[in-house]
Structure 1
């Protein structure tokens, strides 16, 4: 049996930096130090791709690019791209909303890019190598962002469909704007790679997350319309979602694109393989979101406002995973096998010996977990905090200290389980109430903006978590 592991779930956007939107700078390095001191060996993050206005990491405009707002301003200063005085004048020591932070970060990014171009750093081997390694997606993504910014409408309505046509038709040169997008992806890649190396050197492996679906307004749908369920004008014919389940009594409308799986099969799932290869360079393990969707998926007619109005359609099933495992090891994956799980889904998961998921707060069938090949969570980004859940589930417990003790008892029980991996939300270790949860499924506002205060981790919390972890030989 492989070594048991223990870790913590916290997305980088939640780091309470002085620049508002959390990033992958010095706070993240101190967080890795906390994981090491607490005896942890896993760090789980949410998807690292670009986000939309809601900041939802599961609604991305690219399956390959990184979220530029995770770029650390501190590291840009330390690396000489921008001066501290300039940044201080912009941010002025204020506590910012995510939206304000993104606006000001854009100003810092442009200032950094100015130095990048003035010093002809685009000729450096490191930048040229980055562009070469990522040529499959980088040019398309950079062009997509420029076109989207220019037209400010959905790609299916653009009067031109590429950068060359944009430049000739409107007599403008946008080559520098394209270079700017490449620069931002280069900086993200450098900063994230350095952080991952630091984590790995400290015995911490990173669990990444791959959303099964993408936004219609994404470069991947724009460049590969034949791979998605679209009509001849480029509009979605069906959208993603889920019927009523444990997370939502009315089901969920995800409004992301569904795949035309027969087209993916024609080229041996090449797009998926390239996508997973990219994620594997950024993370040590891949949480494969919505595993059920690869076996069968809920298809909702476009334009419908009720998730219940849909039907189950067949996914690619085992043939998809046979192809994927020609390029990866089964140990690379943790499959999110939650929701309404059928015998078919259990069969395919067991056939490939994928590690499944079990969440304490969600109902589950014991027959699904006959062995230890699963990751056990106190909660996820979609559930309540542990303390909030206990309060709702045990109304008779009124005293805060009793609630906290019950939460620690549960954490110890999860750690002592037979599960190969256990993951605790940082909110659960900090004994935070429901108002600090990351997301409420089915709710469109107030999500994804939890901010973690590193000063709230008391030494006794670190020691307690370390003691529980060591006692259970994780």
Structure 2
């Protein structure tokens, strides 16, 4: 156990409610100016993010939960990132940069179509303009120097990794020259010099993200809105994290994964899920005092007031799939040093504000580990109505150590979920919920808000009564996930009032 009793986060010391919405799901229709906003592929840390904070405050909601904000691969999944520390440059608001005088902007930018390639080009041009005027701003120079110094523990490896990926046409690092796979010092130094220009662009992007994030975070705090982040248990194989610390992962001499992560068949997939993330070399991590994880937590704590650990059960035992297998069903459970790991984390950060994602195949051992460290877990109302009156997701089974959701980013929307049920299943839901005839989204929202549990999180889609066409992710599938965006026109005029009256009714005006 840690040296002192683990405290519960202050966010659980009063009844609260919040919204689950990833920043990419924000609209991109507002400009800081009266002129046309600069093109964005999806939501960003611009004016709409501030408008959303205003909406939360007016509605009486006090927590904004989002998915990981790290850079994604081409599939856009925030759970397969090229870095566990970096900010996603696609969230950078070009409009913000112009508004704050970092760049002059360009009329051609406003006319450009919103594509990933165009946005990369615009960000590169922004970097050139930024560095050209940096000499005239002592304040920006100081801020940039402080950012680089404070983040050196991950930034140097990340910007070099990204420059190398670009240089080698986005090939994974296991297909780079052998001297770079092995990170031979002479080769690393030579490529740092060769790729200096690209490296400077990636430094600019991370600085811009950090400054925009810090400003939004400060604004949210001024409105008494807490930010709730999400930390995947695993990292992508093709990432700066694995390339830079290969000894902490279960890899062969060429950097290939010997075993990979996933889950056996479950609610979401009859054949299980093959994630492909390399497993950790837990023995090496423990021998090093779990420093890799402590650094990762430090980054998250700089951004968030509360952190969800995705797939918490993997700290008790993880599903190990052979690296050359494409079928998750060929895996096996392997014990992990969860007790030692969490002890080290809480000794480093005694007030570490964690929530354990304890969904899926959860054993008594997993729950014992969670309770030993006083970690709140998650309950989802969509999982509650299977006819078992002892189902822990049912409202009468909730406790003071739970976070209640109508659904998560992996679930269908509440309206979509209800539409997918047969008549008997719908009757089961209605009978439990007092045979109420109010719309199903509000019925589940009120059930969540009335729970004894101190924190309730509602996906924005449920407040907007949107159907399954608006879900964020369908686990086990690719192609259309992670792309949903709302529009302000979807908000009923009285939505803030509707939410606020219910927040007050269930004593969640924290």
* TM value normalised by structure 2: 0.86
Q: Give secondary structure in 2 for the equivalent of 1:326.
A: helix
Structure 1 contact 246–363 (Cα < 8 Å) conserved = no
Structure 2 contact 384–392 (Cα < 8 Å) conserved = no
* Residues 412-468 of structure 1 deviation map (CA, whole Å, 9 limit, x = unaligned): 111000111101000111111111100000002110000111221112222111111
- 1:373 maps to 401
- 1:132 maps to 149
* Residues 281-319 of structure 1 deviation map (CA, whole Å, 9 limit, x = unaligned): 001100011100001000111121211110000111211
Aligned mate of 1:41, from 49, 56, 62? 62
Give me the CA root mean square deviation: 2.2
- 1:432 maps to 466
1:87 maps onto 2:101 in alignment: no
Structure 1 contact 387–404 (Cα < 8 Å) conserved = no
The runs of 4+ residues in structure 1 deviating greater than 6 Å are 167-172
Give 1:156 shift: 2.0
Matched residues in 2 for 1:288 and 1:46: separation? 11
Give 1:403 shift: 8.0
Give 1:119 shift: 2.1
Change (3 A) 1:90 1:358: same
1:154 maps onto 2:172 in alignment: yes
Give 1:250 shift: 1.5
Give 1:20 shift: 2.8
Higher deviation after alignment, 403-412 or 315-324: 403-412
- 1:358 maps to 379
Structure 2 contact 346–352 (Cα < 8 Å) conserved = no
Change (3 A) 1:20 1:75: same
- 2:7 maps to none
- 2:433 maps to none
Structure 1 contact 330–354 (Cα < 8 Å) conserved = no
Q: Give secondary structure in 1 for the equivalent of 2:501.
A: helix
Matched residues in 2 for 1:372 and 1:267: separation? 35
- 1:64 maps to 85
Aligned mate of 1:382, from 410, 419, 424? 410
Matched residues in 2 for 1:268 and 1:217: separation? 25
Q: Give secondary structure in 2 for the equivalent of 1:119.
A: helix
Q: Give secondary structure in 2 for the equivalent of 1:239.
A: strand
1:103 maps onto 2:117 in alignment: yes
Matched residues in 1 for 2:455 and 2:326: separation? 38
Change (3 A) 1:88 1:170: closer
Give 1:16 shift: 1.9
Change (3 A) 1:4 1:331: farther
1:469 maps onto 2:503 in alignment: yes
Change (3 A) 1:170 1:270: closer
Aligned mate of 1:341, from 362, 371, 374? 362
Matched residues in 1 for 2:191 and 2:19: separation? 50
Change (3 A) 1:72 1:395: farther
Matched residues in 1 for 2:365 and 2:259: separation? 24
Give 1:73 shift: 1.4
Give 1:165 shift: 4.7
1:115 maps onto 2:129 in alignment: yes
Matched residues in 2 for 1:329 and 1:463: separation? 39
Structure 2 unaligned segments of length 5 or more: list them. 1-11, 30-39, 428-435
Change (3 A) 1:171 1:313: closer
- 1:225 maps to 246
Change (3 A) 1:336 1:233: same
- 1:323 maps to 344
* TM value normalised by structure 1: 0.93
1:213 maps onto 2:234 in alignment: yes
Higher deviation after alignment, 27-36 or 246-255: 246-255
Higher deviation after alignment, 411-420 or 161-170: 161-170
- 1:257 maps to 278
Give 1:175 shift: 1.4
Aligned mate of 2:475, from 415, 418, 441? 441
Give 1:404 shift: 6.4
Structure 1 unaligned segments of length 5 or more: list them. none
Change (3 A) 1:167 1:299: closer
Structure 1 contact 376–421 (Cα < 8 Å) conserved = yes
Matched residues in 2 for 1:163 and 1:395: separation? 64
1:77 maps onto 2:98 in alignment: yes
Matched residues in 1 for 2:275 and 2:392: separation? 29
- 2:449 maps to 415
